[in-house]
Structure 1
């Protein structure tokens, strides 16, 4: 990511920043609102960090002999739909929150609509701590060559296996321990997993339909399987989306095969999430996939006392031996965005708070509390982070292989079409081939030249 435009924008705003941070001759008062989506009880630092940053900024002003008062109004939504509706309605009424904490895929449509401003216009990306962020996370937080967001966390979405069942279907300890390496090398495939899932069921270790227990609703996780079968999402040169028919059909066929082998239920989709969490954390499933943040749910709410003694984890395996090794995981970082406001100084204060909230110690509080991963390599040196086994192993094992969904305004439509096809094939309404044909037809009609059909 080049920073030439950032440096120019930074110079334009030095005067405003000097007013905010140093040169104020009278008390400056600001009220900053921050709204977060998809946030459960363990995600409170997404907004609390902004409040912590405000306290630091006010203390810095006090140390410089200035008076700065910042009040932070916080709100979090557990579900994404309610959050996005609230942000959209607030923006339409002219009262958008100053800071929104959302998934990176919202950057493209919100930038095009004028809701958000490039954060690089308000902070120096070449100064600490922003110059220490993982470069790929900065890239994910960008659109049309501009840095719009600052990553609030990172994550990965692992493949999980219950260790005891691996041993009971013939794995010795060395084989159990080496499974992540075999997945990473491409030796162990998704179809190898289905065979093992069938063995676990045949041995009576888990019930029918519990050999492979995927997530129960639509979500980014299912793009990992498309990647496993060699699918790509975006053309690097043109930015256009890619629909790989062969990879898509293999993806749909994989879930059909899982159903036909009896290791995944045909009616699995729609299972209540609370039921799913309880089942995978208590050994009722042999294999499943989820997010790094699931660790806190398993070990706290679900009472899984010895996670590492019971569960093995790694990348999502490559699809089959017929494709090159595409073992992978997906990261879907949540980002801090600043909204367009009439008050330029208000926007600069909001951006300054985001910068402070991104410092390694503050961000590590969120990472450890919520079982997410860090946003900078410097966090590996923070005691709270490097003493946490899950944070360290997940970071080292998963993040180097992580891909992301593209920041493309058309991706929402593409995603919906992909999901409709997968659901139709999974539940037996269509064959995988017919589901792909119908998806292609709909994509051509909806996105036209915005998508490359392979």
Structure 2
């Protein structure tokens, strides 16, 4: 054999070995991500994982590795549908790799073994995780273990229809200073009822439209309990402040008695509610920061700032102005092999980078998860994001990540609705709440 043929054979063998090595190192992986409560403005809850997958593939290529990631995205608009589908998938051992869900699921899901701690897969001291607001990371934890990474933040303000406020005697300057008056306790929930009644008495809105609450159960209603001085948890134990809860129940009974909120308001069609608050058919209402996106994009309220003022939830007797933040968190589901779960965790980490997260924050009108994100041009140039972040987030509290909180919530809501509709007196409703909490939670809750 000539030297040329020897060299040719060696070159061919080397090429074959290199080809085999590439094939051997190539990895194909499918990552599924589900999100709850996600409408048309919330696509980046799942799309961010897809963006992260592209980056992770490119990083692998630079290291000389071939990584092919297929992201299967499943957004659910409804929470009940999402939770039911996830339960069935987990039982069938077909749970997705990543879910974006409310932080209150962390406690019960961790105890049930449905999720694994994200801190086992991500260095929490590395960027961008170490830049996420500490209080959000705390909300994503349970029993001292970090299970999730905040996917977004938000707050839940009160909204006032400016033309109606002017019609009942408020000047432009007074409307401009309303947020500060709410913050310092000068404008309270009592004033909300009074102004709602004035709007109706002037014929600006129909009876029952003066104050237009959320139409279904939700975290929002805990803000009223807080406004009247209630605590949800203290020193790791749930707390039921009977007097504060009675004041909260009484407030909704008073709204109905004054005719500014309908007795049968709960359960009304959501699309009807949205159209009415977007067109001035309602005078004062409460909702979330993400409402801005729907009001402007889907409901056509392009001149939002000319028509709407927003504030913290005003204080009630015994409490202070506040707002509730209900961050969605990325969680890693159990039941997958370590390597795939590590890739899922890497995607969550990448998706948390400021510019990627800002895409979701601005499109969906949520709030950023880090200080750096507020400096991203897309975010800092957005009036709603900037004003809502400054006005609301410093005063935000959150529901506790307590595995028993769901039971508390169910009992609280059932009796609030009963006193609202008149099925029970306020006194009976609060007494029944106490009785049920004692029977259901025992020593897991402190009764005051």
Q: Which secondary structure state, in structure 2, belongs to the residue aligned with residue 187 of structure 1? A: coil
Corresponding residue for residue 8 of structure 2:
none
Q: Which secondary structure state, in structure 1, belongs to the residue aligned with residue 209 of structure 2? A: coil
Distance apart, 1:408 and its partner CA: 0.9
Partners of 2:50 and 2:23 lie apart in 1 by 22
Q: Which secondary structure state, in structure 2, belongs to the residue aligned with residue 42 of structure 1? A: coil
Corresponding residue for residue 193 of structure 1:
192
Q: Is the 8 A contact 1:31 1:70 kept in 2?
A: yes
Q: Which secondary structure state, in structure 2, belongs to the residue aligned with residue 54 of structure 1? A: helix
Corresponding residue for residue 344 of structure 1:
338
Following superposition of structure 1 onto structure 2, how do residues 38-437 of structure 1 map, counting pairs within 5 Å? 38-235=37-234, 237=235, 239-320=236-317, 323-324=318-319, 326-437=320-431
Counterpart check, 1:438 vs 2:437: no
Q: Is the 8 A contact 2:34 2:75 kept in 1?
A: yes
Partners of 1:332 and 1:81 lie apart in 2 by 17
Corresponding residue for residue 453 of structure 1:
447
Q: Which secondary structure state, in structure 2, belongs to the residue aligned with residue 156 of structure 1? A: coil
What's the CA shift string for 1:68-106, capped at 9, x where partnerless? Answer: 111111111111111111111111112211111111011
What's the CA shift string for 1:175-217, capped at 9, x where partnerless? Answer: 1100000000011100111111111111111111111111111
Partners of 1:420 and 1:291 lie apart in 2 by 22
What's the CA shift string for 1:21-67, capped at 9, x where partnerless? Answer: xx997112211111111111111111111111010000011112221
Partners of 1:300 and 1:354 lie apart in 2 by 28
Distance apart, 1:340 and its partner CA: 1.6
What's the CA shift string for 1:428-454, capped at 9, x where partnerless? Answer: 111111100011111111111111100
Q: Could you list the runs of 5+ residues in structure 2 that have no partner in the other structure? A: 1-21
Partners of 1:400 and 1:327 lie apart in 2 by 11
Distance apart, 1:291 and its partner CA: 0.7
Distance apart, 1:297 and its partner CA: 1.0
Aligned length: 427
Q: Is the 8 A contact 2:246 2:430 kept in 1?
A: yes
Q: Which secondary structure state, in structure 1, belongs to the residue aligned with residue 25 of structure 2? A: coil
Q: Is the 8 A contact 2:97 2:336 kept in 1?
A: no
Distance apart, 1:331 and its partner CA: 0.6
Partners of 1:294 and 1:229 lie apart in 2 by 25
Partners of 2:410 and 2:23 lie apart in 1 by 50
Which is greater in Rg?
Answer: 2
Partners of 1:113 and 1:246 lie apart in 2 by 34
TM-score (norm 2): 0.94
Q: Which secondary structure state, in structure 1, belongs to the residue aligned with residue 149 of structure 2? A: strand
Q: Is the 8 A contact 1:341 1:347 kept in 2?
A: no
Q: Which secondary structure state, in structure 2, belongs to the residue aligned with residue 32 of structure 1? A: strand
Q: Which secondary structure state, in structure 2, belongs to the residue aligned with residue 41 of structure 1? A: coil
Partners of 2:84 and 2:211 lie apart in 1 by 34
Partners of 1:367 and 1:164 lie apart in 2 by 29
Partners of 1:140 and 1:24 lie apart in 2 by 43
RMSD after superposition: 1.2
Corresponding residue for residue 17 of structure 1:
none
Partners of 1:233 and 1:342 lie apart in 2 by 35
Partners of 1:217 and 1:94 lie apart in 2 by 32
TM-score (norm 1): 0.93
Distance apart, 1:342 and its partner CA: 4.3
What's the CA shift string for 1:369-413, capped at 9, x where partnerless? Answer: 111111111111111001110011011100111111011111111
Q: Could you list the runs of 5+ residues in structure 1 that have no partner in the other structure? A: 1-22
Partners of 2:61 and 2:180 lie apart in 1 by 53
Partners of 1:374 and 1:201 lie apart in 2 by 37
Q: Is the 8 A contact 2:35 2:75 kept in 1?
A: yes
Partners of 1:425 and 1:81 lie apart in 2 by 24
Range with greater deviation from structure 2 (251-260 or 23-32): 23-32
Partners of 2:304 and 2:60 lie apart in 1 by 45
Partners of 1:200 and 1:376 lie apart in 2 by 40
Q: Is the 8 A contact 1:24 1:66 kept in 2?
A: no
